[in-house]
Structure 1
């Protein structure tokens, strides 16, 4: 049984971890607290190398890792100055193992759930199609919740990709988000979206739900515990009422 949930800040993002913790505390029978960035609170000497080993080098290559000295130096700088990190995809399972190893022994048990909100893009390998997929979360201990994953993992409207490609052909670079928001129909989250905090709440709850019940996600669209694969489904599940399906409303409605 989970007795305590510790959420970790992601200071380089717009996510309000205190607000997420308050939302969670109102719904579960466990103590909820907030700590500073996980990679500052829990640190091991080999963490930069572990991140380098977890780098995804190709969308279609199961192997990971680039442990050349320059890459490890980059990861060291990213640990110290997270605002400089970006554009790298990491194997979420390898990162989870690295962060688990950084936990103190007395906090590694499943009665204390650690939920680092991270500013890194994480992914998992898809055996079914032989490529990497970006993820919002990797459940377990600790449970990783990726802010970039919230924006990048779910599929956006088809028109979004067409407009992005058209703009790139004309100008040679990616269009500003304002252009995409104005020219593409449909609702989707973008980097630094003011709805980020609300949208992350359900994923943090899913981390608790998984350790408490063994159930990974809900299969009912519109439930906060639904694992959305498109932005349309994500927004319906995380930002619209009712918050939960009838089964999970009995557990988690205030």
Structure 2
């Protein structure tokens, strides 16, 4: 699939994304025009707020059911458009419903097949898995536009098993959980984590490879396209290893050569 331009939509509540550096990285890697945009919700209206509130997930054990939002829920969504950092607690949104809403906000003149849109949000997207019949948080919803959830990056890949065991022990004993977080500090990605700047590069690459080939992920841990289910694997693939595998390097090399000819 040919790409003329990539549009990156900012999440102002998460400055660690560092969109300016991300633009430079993607231009260098894919040799296409990359355009920085403000938040996709910058000019959203009450109808968009209603749609988002209706896409909330309340029962993670059942497939998506459209929710009839209250005025208060719509008001909260409206407030998040101008101040997304004000979100209290974690709200789950059905990822496919969320993506459809986002698609409706992309300017029509830029919504062409050769333009790829990647939207950052701190809202938590999730999808229903019929294998275990429950919703799971997702860092990435692949489509056009693609959605990268910074909350999903933090919450979806699991932390070390012992972390959860120690947290449960402290809860049951009435102890402060901060000591557990300190014990495992650095072993998982946290909010406002400076490593997020590097991590989002990999998720952008996955979104772009999906657009190019239809396959966003790699089975190899030694590849930035690896679909990490554990924080340790995420940090290894994206930071410690920090590159794509030889197979995907070859795919990228051949694609950039063809894309250059078509541009």
- Contact conserved, 1:110 with 1:211, CA < 8 A, in 2? no
Aligned to 1:6: 7
- Contact conserved, 1:2 with 1:208, CA < 8 A, in 2? no
Aligned to 1:105: 108
Aligned to 1:225: 225
Q: Greater CA deviation, 244-253 or 220-229?
A: 244-253
**Secondary structure class of the residue paired with 1:156:** coil
Q: 1:185–1:34: structure 2 CA closer, same or farther, 3 Å change rule?
A: closer
- Structure 2 residue 20 is matched with structure 1 residue 18: yes
* 1:40-119 aligned within 5 A: 40=42, 43-62=44-63, 63-86=65-88, 87-119=90-122
**Whole-Å separation in 1 of the counterparts to 2:128 and 2:102:** 19
- Structure 2 residue 131 is matched with structure 1 residue 125: no
Return the TM-score normalized by structure 1: 0.91
Aligned to 1:147: 150
* 1:161-176 aligned within 5 A: 161-171=164-174, 175-176=177-178
Stretches of structure 1 lacking an aligned partner (at least 5 in a row): none
Q: Greater CA deviation, 237-246 or 182-191?
A: 182-191
**Secondary structure class of the residue paired with 1:38:** coil
Q: Greater CA deviation, 160-169 or 51-60?
A: 160-169
Structure 1 residue 223 displacement after superposition: 0.6
Output one character per residue of 1:205-251: Cα deviation in whole Å (capped at 9) or x when no partner: 11111111111311211211111111111111111225111111234
Structure 1 residue 189 displacement after superposition: 0.9
**Whole-Å separation in 1 of the counterparts to 2:186 and 2:122:** 26
Aligned to 2:260: none
Find runs of 4+ consecutive structure 1 residues off by over 6 angstroms: none
Output one character per residue of 1:103-159: Cα deviation in whole Å (capped at 9) or x when no partner: 122211221111111111110110111100001100111100011111100011111
**Secondary structure class of the residue paired with 1:134:** strand
Aligned to 2:238: 238
Output one character per residue of 1:163-185: Cα deviation in whole Å (capped at 9) or x when no partner: 22223333487x33xx3343238
Pairs aligned (count): 250
CA RMSD, Structure 1 to Structure 2 (Å): 2.0
**Whole-Å separation in 2 of the counterparts to 1:64 and 1:45:** 17
- Contact conserved, 1:122 with 1:135, CA < 8 A, in 2? yes
**Secondary structure class of the residue paired with 1:113:** strand
